[in-house]
Amino acid sequence: MTDPLPPWNFKWVVKNELVIMGYPKNEANILYLVQQGITHLVSLSPEKQPPFEHFPFHFRWTPIDVLEFEPPTLSQIINFINICKTAHFNKESVAVHCRLGRGRSGVMAACYLVRFYEMRPEYACTSVRLLQPGAIETYSQERTVHAYYDYLRQGEKEPLDEVDIYVKSIPRPHWDYKLRRKRIFDHEY
């Protein structure tokens, strides 16, 4: 039996809720995911698939095929968010991966922060980029996070079900960033 090793660029976006990472290559990576308490793996890269033969019995896998350097569609984002809502309801953790864990995974992580933590899209993108430098690689990927935010603001949410009611009851931190203008005396020493 091999020792557990984290997949490339393994980062918790929200501890015990969501992980972004590069694709798990081998049994050691899958063992690490299981050791971290992850029970659902979402694959965004049709070109890089995880080693299915090493999945434990309880481990779930969902493919959402998004081409490299392309943004996911709105329906793909909604599908991912529904997976996350189910995981919240069951008190489980979700891992999302693309090839390197930056572009496509970063978009989904930012949409997750927009949906569950009510962040504005620019702060969600910045939060993911601070966590994973180089995340959300293209302008179209960033615009997709803004489009998802606009979709939610238009009130086109799906009707409330048990999962929505449960998720709304989870206390969330209030992150309200206030930008201030740079002043003459603000210097970096």
Which CATH number fits the domain that encloses residue 124?
Answer: 3.90.190.10
This prediction's pTM: 0.79
Q: Does 180 map to a domain? A: no
| DSSP assignment letter at 159 | P
| DSSP assignment letter at 59 | -
CA dihedral (51, 97, 88, 52) in degrees, to 10, reads: -10
Q: Does 181 map to a domain? A: no
Q: Please give the pLDDT value at position 167.
A: 47
Give whole-number Cα distances, 159 to 2, 68, 70, 91, 167, in Å. 45, 32, 29, 22, 14
Between 175 and 3, the more confident residue is 3
Q: Does 188 map to a domain? A: no
Q: Please give the pLDDT value at position 155.
A: 77
Q: Does 146 map to a domain? A: yes
Q: Does 58 map to a domain? A: yes
Res. 102: pLDDT tops 70: yes
* pLDDT tens readout for residues 109-168: 999 999 999 999 999 999 999 999 999 999 999 999 999 999 999 975 554 454 554 444
Q: Does 23 map to a domain? A: yes
Q: Please give the pLDDT value at position 86.
A: 94
Catalytic amino acids?
98
Q: Containing domain of residue 145, as a range?
A: 11-168
Between 142 and 182, the more confident residue is 142
Lowest mean pLDDT among 86-95, 128-137, 173-182: 173-182
- What lies within 8 Å, CB to CB, of 68 at 6+ separation is 45, 47, 98, 99, 103, 104
Name the domain count of the chain: 1
Q: Does 138 map to a domain? A: yes
Q: Does 53 map to a domain? A: yes
